[in-house]
Amino acid sequence: MKLLFFCVPAFFLIYGCTSFSSKHSTPLSDSSIFSRDIHTQSNADSLQIEHLDLDISVNFAEHTIAGVAIWKIKNPNHLKFVRLDTDGLTIDSVRSNGKPVLFSLEKPVAHLGRALTIPIHDGNNEVAITYKTSPNARALQWLTPQQTHDKKFPFLYTQSESIYARSWVPAPDGPGIRFTYAARVKVPNELMALMSAENPQQKNDSGIYHFTMNMPIPAYLMALAVGDIAFKAIDNRTGVYAEPQMLDKAAWELVDMGKMVSSAESLYGSYRWGRYDVLILPPGFPIGGMENPKLTFATPTIIAGDRSLVNLIAHELAHNWSGNLVTNETWNDFWLNEGFTVYFERRISEAMNGKSYADMLWELGYQDLVTEVKALGDTNKDTHLKLNLAGRDPDDGLNDIAYEKGALFLRLIEINVGRKRFDAFLRQYFDSHAFKTINTEAFLQYLNEKLIQGDSELSKKLQIPAWVYGPGIPSNAPRADRERFSIVDAERLKFEKGTDPAALATAQWTTHEWLHFLRNMPKPLTVAQMSNLDQAFHFTQSHNSEIADLWFVMAIAANYTPAFKEMEQFLSQVGRRKFIEPLYTEMMNTGKEPLAKSLYQKYRSNYHPLAQMTLDKIVH
Ligand code: BES
Ligand code: ZN
């Protein structure tokens, strides 16, 4: 045993010593544990784990999910055991091909949870795990009726990306491992269940729902939502789910979903997942959207009443090519999911709303990137596209780099090779890697083979190593046309020089012009300036969450107290991290720690466990 510590490189030790005591000493060890994905302890890449049959029931009184997960496996490499990821699960019993077996739940590893080791033999074709989740499971948010939109029934939803599926299903939880699944889910009679699978469109009386997902997906795309949910069709392949009193508003906002799918298809090939539906969640949902296959989960904060924030749906839809169809192999390759998706999302937006609209999105994204690089420091390795998240929770490496630097890199290639060639390349990329995983190096090789093809002048122009393995924003970064925003800048300057806001030429502005207007204001404004703006444009009362959020941050900085009541209202309802994190951060940074603390104490329990994790580090 001791010797192993000398011959095993440090990063392997993360798996614990037992993993290396080798085939000879303990039956529960295997060298196949040398997985290349550092965020899973599963040895699934040496087995064939092909299908999951899940039979669970959802207990709102206990805040637990309990049931049986049956994994269909093949064991061509004659392994002695299978290892799955778990986090906080209680394992009651395990059967291997129907017979009870002794399993072992290994020591917890920081961020990764506990590996579940189950002995198997050559002819093994299934393992069945009877288990229960913990009330604190990181993927799950249990809402009281009060925390929902309609305030009548409790609600539950999952958020599995990046490595939280293991907190509600014992699973090989790495993006490089795909499987199909079927599920039977028992919920209280008055509620409906939905999954990232073929879904019901109506409640039934039994409270038992059946699901199938026949296309192989990684564990981070497993999803479940349970609540008082109703459905409304948009067209014959798209539709919206929401709480009943939210449904019509949501369906109005998302009326163009069918067109969106068609326009995505004309860019990069057919949509391969059957139906495309969106579930609008209660306001505590910690993120904007999640690309769960067949059923995007989305925050209600995109329901602005004017369809101006639906590009978030274009983003989640685009993931059905970049991410769900062609998946990042590890979380270090996250930009292959998100950078491609942002690029694709903006192409959909351009196709639907024109170039000047897409240019605004590109420019706002560029501003986000500049801000992020400044925050992280322009030599920080976390500003590389290829990340090194060893020893960290992937959630900690989550920032705008993968999104905006990734998208900008693709835009740079597009500009240099021409849109026609680039689109043909991307379409071929999605087709040839469909239902597969890819890492950064394999993508670069594919890019070289199919597009660069030895053109050294093109290579020189692109500076690929600087983008992928270098920090900050490379000098050849393209910048979008700023036609519409230069008009906004001119009006903002007038305001800064004392023009009455009511006299500014703002009549034609859309949400994105307003965002640019507010974002670029000097900080802090005076209380008088804030008050003038508010009188002219009623920002404090804005029903547009993006505008309101920005405004509240400005209000904190300026100590503009007339906005504080609405801000508190916002913080009491909305759980979207992107919105609440800047508000609490601004309070902490501008001498309003007592306010931050008292609000956080009041509303912390309204936030998702992952949002709590983030905010606990900020408000203390
Ligand atoms: N897949 C992400 C959400 C995610 C990423 C969850 C990493 C957990 C870990 C999703 O597609 C996303 O990017 N959502 C964005 C919206 C988008 C318009 C940039 C969000 O939630 O803000
Ligand atoms: Zn995304």
316 C-alpha to ligand 2 centroid (Å) = 6
Q: Are residues 436 and 563 in the same domain?
A: no
> Torsion angle, CA of 557/563/568/570, rounded to 10 degrees?
-100
Tell me if 162 CB under 6 Å of ligand 1.
Answer: yes
Residue pair 40/172 in contact by the 8 Å Cβ criterion: yes
* 404 plus 514 within the same structural domain: no
CA–CA distance, 463 with 444 (Å, rounded to integer)? 12
Query: Does residue 186 form part of some domain?
Result: yes
Cα distances (Å, whole numbers) of residue 87 to 103, 136, 158, 175: 16, 10, 14, 17
Residues with a beta carbon under 5 angstroms from ion ligand 2: 338, 341
The alpha carbon of 392 is separated from its chain's Cα centroid by a whole number of angstroms, namely 17
316 is catalytic: yes
Residues 497 and 587 in one domain: yes
Residue 21 has a pLDDT of 33
The catalytic residue among 403, 584, 600, 603 is: 403
CATH number at residue 438: 1.10.390.10
Ligand 1 pocket, residue 398 CB under 6 Å? yes
Is there a single domain that holds both residue 209 and residue 330? no
> Does position 427 have pLDDT exceeding 90, yes or no?
yes
Same domain, 531 and 395: no
Atom of ligand 1 nearest to the CA of 394: 9
Mutate to test the pocket of ligand 1, among 290, 295, 580 (most ligand atoms within 8 A of CB): 290
Whether 503 and 443 share a structural domain? no
**pLDDT per position as a tens digit, 339-378:** 999 999 999 999 999 999 999 999 999 999 999 999 999 9
Among 291, 316, 404, 586, the one annotated catalytic: 316
The SS3 of residue 1 is coil
Tens of pLDDT, residue by residue over 139-149, are: 999 999 999 99
Look up the domain containing 446 and give its range: 321-468
Q: Ligand 1 atom 2: the closest Cα is on which residue?
A: 290
**Pocket mutation for ligand 1, best pick of 278, 287, 404 (most atoms within 8 Å of C-beta):** 287
Q: Which of 156, 23, 164, 182 lies closest to 87 in space, CA to CA? A: 164
Residue 132: predicted pLDDT = 98
CATH number of the domain enclosing 102: 2.60.40.1730
Domain closes at, from 152, 182, 213:
213
Task: Answer yes or no: do 534 and 399 share one domain.
Answer: no
Pair 84, 43: CB distance under 8 Å: no
What element of type H or E holds 593?
Answer: helix 593-603
Q: In this structure, is residue 242 part of a structural domain? A: no
Residues 79, 165, single domain; the answer is yes
288 Cα to the center of ligand 1, angstroms: 6
Which tens digit of pLDDT belongs to each residue from 80-108?
A: 999 999 999 999 999 999 999 999 999 99
Indicate the angle between helix axes 511-519 and 483-496, nearest 10 degrees: 50
The two beta strands, 99-100 and 90-96, are antiparallel
In angstroms, the CA 161 to CA 173 distance is 10
**Is there a single domain that holds both residue 548 and residue 592?**
yes
Q: How many CA atoms lie within 13 A of 117 on its CB side?
A: 20
Same domain for 195 and 325, yes or no, is no
Q: Compute the distance between CA of residue 215 and CA of residue 192 in angstroms, rounded to an integer.
A: 23
Q: What is the pLDDT of residues 142-196, one digit of tens each?
A: 999 999 999 999 999 999 999 999 999 999 999 999 999 999 999 999 999 999 9
Q: What is the CATH number of the domain that holds 576?
A: 1.25.40.320
Domain count, the chain: 3
Going by alpha carbons, the residue nearest to atom 10 of ligand 1 is 290
Q: For ligand 1, atom 6, name the residue with the nearest CA.
A: 161
Whether residue 21 is contained in a domain is answered as yes
Distance CA 482, CA 464 (A): 26
> For atom 8 of ligand 1, which residue has the closest CA?
161
Is residue 229 situated within a structural domain? no
